[in-house]
Amino acid sequence: MIIRPKDAAKLIGVLIMCACAVLPCALFMNSNIDMARIRDQVTTPEAISLYDATIATGNVTMAVAGGALALTTIVMLLFYIKHYIDTHKSDLGILKALGYSNWSIARGFWVFGLSVFAGAAIGYGIAWAMMPAFYREMRSGGILPDTPLHFNPEVAIYLIVLPTLAFALLSVLYSYRKLRRPALELIRGKAKPRKAKQKDRRVSELPFLRDLKQSTVRSRPSLTFFIGFAAFCYADMVQMSFAMPEMASDMMAIMMLMIGLALAFTTLFIAITTVIKGNSKTLAMLRVFGYSDRECGNAILNGYRPAACIGFIIGTAYQYGLMQMMFALVFNDTLDIPGYGFDIPALIIALVSFAMLYEAIMFLYTKRIKRIPLKEVMLEE
């Protein structure tokens, strides 16, 4: 199996996702390991409370950020593998016809794990560059003794080596499952037709553009997930960044904001680009029949707006619940930090800015539709 540069470039989303997951995990994991070395120097009740709260904050952050982004990375990686197999069905079918087994072909998909390695390595490198400033910020109150910065190799093993091996194995196993199809079916690129359901017959009676909008959304559930996840990340991280100055530091607030923006832009860009690419022939036919760019954009793109709204609502609720949990379990009234209340101004800022961002991106992609060359699209096989 040959991964061309164009195919590898599509894995940039996995790379960014891994970098965003490893960055906070590396900071807090290395800090917690180093803080364990100074535990005997923490003697006063106030210092013990702050020490326990700092360790617990790091553990919660690693569990929440690392766990959530790891699950999303799995979905994104499987999406890319499926997309690669779908776009190279003929080549893979020919290999099977020549005698290559499913396992021998699937083994080549381990290279998809390299995107995880690259993202994890970049995230770890950024974290290590930020580590001195992070240590100073976390100890700026003067209550805890200075924590010397050490290089802990187990952090690199947990956050780079093990995830790379796990995702490489996952790529091989998932591709093996997707390749368990007859060679002729792969070469022809056709699957067995499914039986029509009563629901499908009711949908077919809708107006054409409305039917097209609904079928576009139903055809790729993973893209609906990505758009909802983009809104989720934006709502969660942007609103959380407003609480970080009081809870942790300005540095943590900026890091949370940058991670949220990176995740939102990446997943939104991947989803919308894939929607446009996957429906290029449909868009070309709509233009041939005289539909305007606005009507084309409405039929292909606007069906995902409810997913973005739902994602934003869930992200807001998740952020509020997470902050309440951290104050209840981590701080537990042992530190001089006020309880967390719902931040209405932060919600308004996040909601208005995301709505403007989302609508601006949709407007730009709607304008981009008219630049799709009709001749090139219609000549594609």
Q: What is the pLDDT of residues 333-365, one digit of tens each?
A: 555 555 566 778 888 998 999 999 888 888 888
Length of the chain in terms of residues written:
381
Same domain, 6 and 58: yes
- At residue 199, the pLDDT reads 47
For range 176-188, the mean pLDDT: 83
- At residue 313, the pLDDT reads 92
Summarised one tens digit per residue, pLDDT across range 83-111 is 888 878 888 888 888 888 888 888 888 88
- At residue 243, the pLDDT reads 74
317 assigned to some structural domain:
yes
Same domain, 209 and 116: no
In angstroms, rounded to a whole number, what is the distance separating the alpha carbons of residues 73 and 278?
Answer: 22
Q: What is the torsional sign of CA 269, 271, 277, 281? A: negative
Same domain, 163 and 204: no
pLDDT greater than 80 at residue 166: yes
Q: Which of 207, 29, 58 is nearest to 120 (CA)?
A: 29
3-state secondary structure 251-270: HHHHHHHHHHHHHHHHHHHH
pLDDT greater than 70 at residue 198: no
For range 260-286, the mean pLDDT: 80
Same domain, 360 and 297: yes
What six digits make up the tokens of 97? Answer: 């016809």
Summarised one tens digit per residue, pLDDT across range 71-89 is 778 888 888 888 888 878 8
Angle subtended at Cα 58 by Cα 232 and Cα 123, rounded to the nearest 5 degrees: 65
Kindly report which listed range (72-76, 199-203, 288-292) carries the lowest average pLDDT score. 199-203
> Percentage of residues in the chain with pLDDT exceeding 90?
13
- For residues 110 and 172, the answer to whether their CB atoms sit within 8 Å is yes
pLDDT greater than 80 at residue 247: no
* DSSP category for residue 160: I
Number of domains within the chain: 2
Distance of CA 381 to the CA centre of its chain: 31
1 pLDDT tier (thresholds 50, 70, 90): low
In angstroms, rounded to a whole number, what is the distance separating the alpha carbons of residues 13 and 15?
Answer: 5
Same domain, 163 and 22: yes
- At residue 59, the pLDDT reads 81
pLDDT greater than 50 at residue 284: yes
274 pLDDT tier (thresholds 50, 70, 90): confident
Q: Which of 158, 190, 222 is a domain's end point?
A: 190
320 pLDDT tier (thresholds 50, 70, 90): confident
* DSSP category for residue 194: P
380 assigned to some structural domain:
no
pTM: 0.77
For range 108-117, the mean pLDDT: 87
Kindly report which listed range (272-281, 323-332, 370-379) carries the lowest average pLDDT score. 370-379
- At residue 162, the pLDDT reads 92
Q: What is the torsional sign of CA 140, 146, 152, 154? A: negative
- At residue 206, the pLDDT reads 59
140 pLDDT tier (thresholds 50, 70, 90): low
Collapsing DSSP to helix, strand or coil, 48 comes out as: helix
- Whole-number mean pLDDT of the chain? 79
For range 128-141, the mean pLDDT: 80
Same domain, 178 and 213: no
By the 10 Å C-beta count (0-12 exposed, 13-18 middle, 19+ buried), 19 is classed as: buried
Same domain, 241 and 295: yes
182 assigned to some structural domain:
yes
Same domain, 308 and 182: no
- At residue 196, the pLDDT reads 46
- At residue 16, the pLDDT reads 86
- At residue 381, the pLDDT reads 46
381 assigned to some structural domain:
no
- At residue 324, the pLDDT reads 77
Count of alpha carbons within 13 angstroms of residue 58, beta-carbon side:
21
178 pLDDT tier (thresholds 50, 70, 90): confident
Same domain, 180 and 233: no
Q: Which of 190, 224, 254 is a domain's end point?
A: 190
Q: Which of 123, 340, 116, 174 is nearest to 248 (CA)?
A: 340
pLDDT greater than 80 at residue 261: yes
213 pLDDT tier (thresholds 50, 70, 90): confident
- At residue 7, the pLDDT reads 63
In angstroms, rounded to a whole number, what is the distance separating the alpha carbons of residues 1 and 61?
Answer: 39
Separation in Å, CA 124 to CA 25, 139, 161, 171: 9, 21, 11, 22
In angstroms, rounded to a whole number, what is the distance separating the alpha carbons of residues 189 and 182?
Answer: 11
pLDDT greater than 70 at residue 271: yes
Same domain, 50 and 22: yes
For range 282-301, the mean pLDDT: 76
What six digits make up the tokens of 122? Answer: 């970049």
Same domain, 260 and 342: yes
**288: containing domain:** 199-375
pLDDT greater than 80 at residue 303: yes
362 assigned to some structural domain:
yes
By the 10 Å C-beta count (0-12 exposed, 13-18 middle, 19+ buried), 343 is classed as: middle
Other CB atoms within 10 Å distance of the CB of residue 226: 27
203 assigned to some structural domain:
yes
Same domain, 269 and 312: yes
